Amino acid sequence: MVEDNENVSLTSDDEQARRLCALVVALSNARSPIPSADIHAAYYPDLADDAFRRKFSRDREKLVECGMVVRSVGKDDKEASWQADATSFADSALLSEDDALMLDVLGTQFVDDPSFAHRDDLRFALAKIDHAFGTLSAARIAPQRRDGAKVLQTMLSCLAGGSLARITYVDAKGARSERVVAPYGQFGLRDNVYFVCAQVTDGIVCEHDPRFFRADRIEKASAAKGGFVVPEDFSVGDFIRLPFQIGPTTCHALLLPSAESDRDMVLDLERCAISNQDGMLEVAVSSVEDAARWCVAAGIEPREPKELVSAWHDILSRAAQFEARDVPEVATPVAKRSPKARRGRPGGANEMRELVALVSSLSHEGAALTPEVVSARLGVTVERARFLINLVLTACTDTSYQLPLSLSDADGVVLSRSHGVAGRPIRLTRGETDALVSVLDELGFPADDPLRLEVLAAFAPVGITEEQARTHVDDALSQDDNEVLEACSRTITSGGTLSFMYAGLQRKGREKRIVSPQALRRSGDLWYLDGHDHARSAQRTFRIDRMSDVRVVPTPDAQDHADAGVQKTERQVKVAFLDRAPLDLFEWPRLEVLGEQDGALVASLPFYGGVWLPRHLAACSDVVITSDGDLAALVRKVAAQRWG
């Protein structure tokens, strides 16, 4: 906690957020409408009447952004009394604590996924749904806020409202241009958000020639005059591409997968193929160089055109001579950098929403806020979390609606008793509902799934149907996959162990695995479980759709496997990327960026054996180095085999 409150420097944003926090508590607990005079005296004591009415009006608009609607009772602002509309409050009793926790665990991957456009709204939606800020019961990683949130919100708002957008765009070559566009849809790919937009020329929407715009290359965005209607035959799914297909098509390629090709990458290829004749897949190509690298990583042979085949051979030739080189030591690791340099200070709007989420969670005796949990759940530093808790602690001082908070041993606060004043869960905003529905779609919850119906009934704004809130619908997971996800999420939170049958790629049939789950993550259209495989004494990754007969079992004694002579096969390897392009071109599961040195991005990632990592390093062998001699030898080996 901040030890000397009088010495804390508060900005105007801080003061507003604290005032709104106090208003939320007052309006949540008032048994009758609060007269304007009482609100004026308690929360705006230094303002004249006219100034109070103007500021209180603006504050009511801000409360709507948090999910609370304030209604007047009376003829005008001067004589009116005020109360929170009953529809502002969530009926959290409709959703069990276990279900709220499961949604929190499953949604975490999207909160920190830069390719998920609604991630900031989702952060607040999950905070409202799983409002336990005293114990970190879910395996949460503190999300890092990304730059460009304002651009994303503007583009999403124009997309939802059918409004034209004026953007300043910087293309891959660094050329800057001003455009007016009609955003038809958006999708995520390789840690980036892409908007599919029709260009507008002389006020006319060129609807038959949509273009891609990468969100992080949009410097500025604002609503422009005019609207648009999305063509009836438009589907954003028709525009989702492979990494080498972003941009104008330069050629068409014929690619030949083999039995040794990466199965997941082949499935992606088949989805984007124009034709498939005798196993030969025809696809559009925007970048020949990227397509050649992608084929090397996937173990796929290109047959046409000649320039693609030539680029593929050149990459393999360089990979066949790949030698281990010293990876530069990182002078300033990423973890030691100033959080401010990575995130920047939260804006007033986000701080307001953070405080409302925190105070709403203090709804029953014993409810607590601890800095570590607030830090992880809201994606702020522990120091910032302490500051937010301090604002909550001081928000209701000297008012009749003061929360009965006490300091806790965990350097936080706890609602020590309940005498009728407590926080009340607030419903989601429209944007937060959009984000939640998008995640429910991504997770594959069908329209009639009880959990889906319960969470929307409890938290979605009253009067907004699910169809109105829906932003996109992906192919649903099977019911079996949903059950596996649920079992994994519950076991992660309880720290237990799972037994399941697993169908691997390299073996026929299924085999039994005993795993302690650690994290769920999503890549492309698939979900993966990271966990400790007890039989192999090593970290492993499992595809959810290949798991069956999942059940909770006692955790085996590590000595049982040590006696059998099982050796741990995982090892961490260091690599340095001399060019950042491969980071966008490929997925790199569990890659940890260590920092930058001498112009190179230094990272660490696990190597489990097999050909996946050697192939990917072979694909970018001219722009990546590793000091691991054994791994370098494997890169040379897979390159020499020519894969089919």
Sign of CA dihedral 346, 352, 354, 359: positive
Range 65-82 average pLDDT: 76
Looking at residue 285, its pLDDT comes to 92
Looking at residue 316, its pLDDT comes to 94
How many CA atoms lie within 13 Å of 617's alpha carbon, on the beta-carbon side?
Answer: 30
Q: How far apart are CA 387 and CA 293, in angstroms?
A: 48
Range 311-323 average pLDDT: 93
pLDDT at 435 over 70: yes
Q: Find all residues with CB under 8 Å of 202, minimum gap 6, and list them.
A: none
pLDDT digits (tens, 9 = 90+) for 258-274: 888 887 788 778 878 88
Percent with pLDDT over 90 in the chain: 14
Confidence band (pLDDT; 50, 70, 90) for 396? low
pTM: 0.50
pLDDT at 380 over 80: no
> What's 546's DSSP letter?
G
**Full DSSP string of 492-527:** HHHT-EEEEEE--SSSSS-EEEEEEEEEEEEETTEE
pLDDT at 3 over 70: no
Residue recorded with tokens 């051979």: 313
pLDDT digits (tens, 9 = 90+) for 548-568: 889 888 877 644 444 433 344
Looking at residue 233, its pLDDT comes to 76
3-class state of residue 439 by DSSP: helix
pLDDT digits (tens, 9 = 90+) for 325-356: 988 887 655 433 332 222 333 345 678 888 88
Among 128-142, 254-268, 299-313, 432-446, which range has the highest average pLDDT?
A: 299-313
Range 242-249 average pLDDT: 81
Q: How many CB atoms lie within 10 A of CB 24?
A: 28
How many CA atoms lie within 13 Å of 481's alpha carbon, on the beta-carbon side?
Answer: 21
Looking at residue 191, its pLDDT comes to 61
**In the sheet that 280-285 helps form, which strands lie side by side, from edge to edge?**
275-277, 280-285, 251-256, 301-304
Confidence band (pLDDT; 50, 70, 90) for 314? very high
Sign of CA dihedral 294, 296, 302, 308: positive
Looking at residue 7, its pLDDT comes to 43
How many CA atoms lie within 13 Å of 313's alpha carbon, on the beta-carbon side?
Answer: 8
